[in-house]
Amino acid sequence: MAKRAPRAVGIDIGGTGIKGALVDLSDGSLLTDRIKVATPKGAEPEDVLAAVKKVLSTIGDHDAPLGVAFPAVVRRGKTMSAANVAKTWIGFEAEDFFQQGLGRDIHFANDADVAGVAEVRYGAAKGVDGLALLTTLGTGIGTALIYDGVLVPNSELGHLPRANHKRSAEQWAAYSAKERDELSWSAWAERLQWYYSTLEDLLNPDLFIVGGGVSKHADEFLPLLQIDTPIVPAVHRNNAGIIGAAALSVD
């Protein structure tokens, strides 16, 4: 009998949607459709768990390893922040909560970090020397710092403050801010120009990678940015979180 490709399920919990799929770990491709449900209003733990269960039951393959990504700082299984989810998650034993609620072991990590892992293993950061900085532009701004292929976890550069302004980088320049303020691509790109040139000044990365759902429209805004650092869309676009969560589940 032919050997089955190594596979795992990845679930990516975001501020707006909860997405999942079964992933072929040999190349990071999706073996099932990408299943998506809306993140429940308020994003309280019990409601998020119920939504994750719904996604998992649609995917099937209950024996595959499972990785879950979450939009918060994750330290030893605990969620330590809550920018776009209920404040209940701050200091919450989230990994245990999901393991008990789902009745199976999981690997639990920050959503942008796992997207970074996906891009290192199967995408734009593969083989990149030095500092690759992945940013996800969605409900919030997530970041993953990858140095010589190694993730430095829990960077939160989406929350960079803006001098003399109330709104942080994320509140001003995330994709949700484009929608909220009904910005054209070029008006939004002006905000991104500030964001990426600030990151460039502070961190001097070798490569920026742009993920999140809007990365499929990268042609509309990346060419408008004037920065010295190369900047490319995430190869796995908005699936990077699913793929990275799955990949980490077997580490």
Tell me which residues touch ligand BGC (CB under 6 A): 14, 71-73, 81, 83-84, 110-112, 136, 138, 140, 142, 156, 158, 170
Q: What is the largest CA-CA distance in the chain?
A: 65
**Taking the complex as a whole, how short is the minimal distance between the CB of residue 168 and ligand BGC, in angstroms?**
9
Nearer to ligand BGC, 21 or 170 (CB): 170
CA dihedral (234, 239, 245, 251) positive or negative: negative
Nearer to ligand BGC, 136 or 239 (CB): 136
Structure tokens at 248: 């980490």
Shortest CB 2 distance to ligand BGC, Å: 38
Q: How far is the CB of 250 from ligand BGC (least distance, A)?
A: 22
Would strands 29-30 and 74-75 be described as parallel, antiparallel, or unpaired?
unpaired
- Helix/strand/coil (H, E, C) string of 77-117? CEECCCCCCCHHHCCECHHHHHHHHHCCCCEEEEHHHHHHH
Smaller CB separation from ligand BGC, 10 or 158: 158
Shortest distance (Å) from residue 6 CB to ligand BGC:
26
Nearest to 29 by CA among 54, 55, 8: 8
Nearer to ligand BGC, 6 or 77 (CB): 77
The partner residues of 232 in beta bridges, in order of sequence, read: 209
